[in-house]
Structure 1
Amino acid sequence: MSNSDAAAVLTTSDLSEATRAVRTLLSVADLDPGEVDFEAVIRSPDVLARVRQVLPGLEWWASSGKEGGSSEAGDDPAACLPVQVFDWGRPLDRAEPFIAAMGSDPAAVRWDLDGWLAVPEAGLEAISQKYAYLTLTVNSRDLYQNEPSRDHTVHVHVHNCDSDDLARVHWLADRVGGRFTGRVESAPL
């Protein structure tokens, strides 16, 4: 198993700004084939109802642990709140409806890309699928919803922020009017 480095390139209290930044970054990525993964902590019955409309067959378990209820056991998630959501491999078109459904609950949406495209004019070679991801954390500063906040952070993933990949991080941050803050999290792949 390996890890990517997830570099924070934009933090904003404006969710629409964060979503626009994601769209911009997706425009310079190879999306074929692409999929999206979701992680969240759902605390409210209203958010749960909206998320279940977006993601039928939602995979979840009680925050207290699977013994407190899970989709695997066929339990009712509304009776088990708060619940953890770990739903993987969904179509790309599910991302924005999921983000809109989250309200003030924390989540991470990760786009699994086929690669970051080469940018010859910036001296950047293509990066393979293994290290090409994009994550938007909603109402959380970190990838794992451990740092709840009222803002949202866009993270770009590369192999290693201590290498030539750092030039790509800066280039991607520039595309969205952000900047690399030096904040990096290791993301298991």
Structure 2
Amino acid sequence: MSNSLAAAVLTTADLGEAIRAVHTLLAIADTERIEVDFDAVIGSPDVLARVCDVLPGLEWWASADPEGGSSKAGDDPAGCLPIQVMDWCRPVDPVDRAEPFIAALGPEPAAVRWDLDGWPEVPEAGLEPISQKFAYLTLTVNSRDLYQNEPSQDHTVHVHCRDRNGDQTARVHWLAARVGGRFTGRVEQSTL
């Protein structure tokens, strides 16, 4: 497994603003062969039912004790709440399942990550293109961090990018400016 650095570029209590920022960034990125990953902590049977309607067949395990129940064991997720759910590598239109998934969550914390084909060259900013290996976009909903350890009532857009020298600062500032955000220096390591 490899890792990426995710830089927070916009935190807002307005979910619509966060989703608009994601749309703006997806319009900038190369998304020809995009994949989408979903990760959430679900504690409510109603939310579980709604999420399962959007993402049938997702993997899950009991949050408190992974041995206490899982999709692999064939257990009933409603009897094991709260659970961690995961659905990775869906080759889909960037928003066809993401927005319904987000709507299904209600107040539950989650992350949606888009695995991009790359970030483009921006000659006027002195930025070279970045390949798929270093190009991701994550929206955390009802959580400030990528892993739902910091539940909150706001939502954060994170960009993952790194040039050949391992630097990401210039591109992060440039992307943040595209969505009316700013890079505050908050960076998290993300497992890919």
Fold shared, TM-score > 0.5 on shorter chain: yes
CA deviation map 1:37-87 (0-9, x unaligned): 011100111111110010010110111233211111111111111000121
Query: Tell me, what secondary structure is at the counterpart of 1:71?
Result: coil
Separation of aligned partners in 1, 2:136 and 2:99: 16
Give the Cα–Cα distance (whole angstroms) in 1 for the partners of residues 36 and 113 of structure 2: 6
In the TM superposition, residue 173 of structure 1 has moved relative to its aligned partner by 0.3
Report the alpha carbon displacement of residue 158 of structure 1 after superposing the two structures with TM: 1.4
Cα RMSD (Å) of the superposition? Answer: 1.4
CA contact (8 A) 1:9 1:179 kept: yes
SS in 2 for 1:22: helix
2:143 pairs with 1:140: yes
In 1, Cα distance between the equivalents of 2:151 and 2:49?
A: 21
CA distance in 2, matches of 1:77, 1:56: 13
Q: Residue type matched to 2:155 in 1?
A: H
Q: TM-score, normalised by structure 1?
A: 0.95
Structure 2: 5+ residue stretches without partners: none
Residue 123 of structure 1: how far off its partner (Å): 1.4
Aligned to 1:185: 188
| Identical aligned residues as a percent | 77
Shift of 1:163: 5.3
Matched, 1:106 2:109: yes
Does 1:159 pair with 2:162?
Answer: yes
Aligned amino acid, residue 35 of structure 1: E
Structure 1 position 30, deviation (Å): 0.6
Q: Which runs of 4+ in 1 moved over 4 A?
A: none
Structure 1 segment 35-114 matched on structure 2, within 5 A: 35-90=35-90, 91=92, 92=94, 93-114=96-117
Q: Number of paired residues?
A: 188
Q: 1:72 to 1:48 in 2, by over 3 A?
A: same
Partner of 2:14: 14
Q: Report the counterpart of residue 175 of structure 1 in structure 2.
A: 178
- TM-score by length of structure 2 reads 0.94
Conserved? CA contact 1:3–1:159, under 8 Å: no
Residue matched to 1:4: 4
